[in-house]
Amino acid sequence: MASNDPALVLNASYEPLCVVSGRRAAVLVLTAKAVAVAAGDTVLHSERRALTVPVVVRLSRFVKVPYRATVPLTRKAVFARDGGRCLYCGAAATSLDHVVPKSRGGPHTWENVVSACSRCNHIKADRGIAELGWRLRATPTAPTGAAWRVVGARRVDPRWRPWLDGVPVDEDEVLEEPA
């Protein structure tokens, strides 16, 4: 891990706030604005000091941050919510689909947008799932909780798992958009 790899920043109450570079996390620790909670693999050396670059830091003081009540509906967040799988067949998802097509008045909301593989998305096209006799493998709902704010990070480190309740973190794969 390099010093510019991402680090999770927790509020003083251990609530996930954001993701910063490892270098910024080290500066927060050095300036006593944060405490290292989980150490990484890299060590930064100065003339008199060695500092292990943290992968998780907790702010020393509580920061009140006005967040939106709902998680923004983004492609990356939908793939994370659905585990990167097609909700129609279970294959690897490559696109998003509206359960009730937008052309038929379906809204662009968490409850109507699901991840889908290209095959299912092509077969479904502009039809509803009832017309095809399909069923969803899970009911799409809006994600809740502070942990979903960090889903927009490029990489979700498996060492963040204890602080990211409700966000799927896989040890072998990274939560990123499919190609």
d(CA 16, CA 110): 22
Alpha carbon distances (Å) from 86 to 4, 83, 151: 33, 9, 19
Q: Report H helices in 6-117.
A: 22-30, 75-81
Q: What pLDDT does residue 143 have? A: 85
**What domains lie within the chain, and their CATH numbers?**
6-66+146-163 (no CATH), 75-132 (1.10.30.50)
Kindly report, residue by residue over 113-122, the tens digit of the pLDDT: 999 999 999 9
pLDDT at site 173: 43
Q: What does the alpha-carbon distance between residue 134 and residue 157 come to, in Å, rounded to a whole number?
A: 35
For residues 151 and 79, the model is more confident at: 79
Question: What's the pTM?
Answer: 0.69
Count CA atoms within 13 Å of residue 138 on its CB side.
17
Burial of 176 (0-12, 13-18, 19+ CB in 10 A): middle
The pLDDT, as a whole number, for residue 83 is 87
pLDDT (tens digit, 9 = 90+) per residue, 74-96?
898 899 889 899 999 999 999 99
Confidence of residue 169 (pLDDT cuts 50, 70, 90): low
Report the amino acid identity of residue 171: E
Average pLDDT, stretch 132-144? 91
Residues 6+ away with beta carbon under 8 Å from 152: 74, 76, 77
Do 89 and 120 touch, CB atoms closer than 8 A?
A: yes
What's the average model confidence in pLDDT over 139-148?
Answer: 83
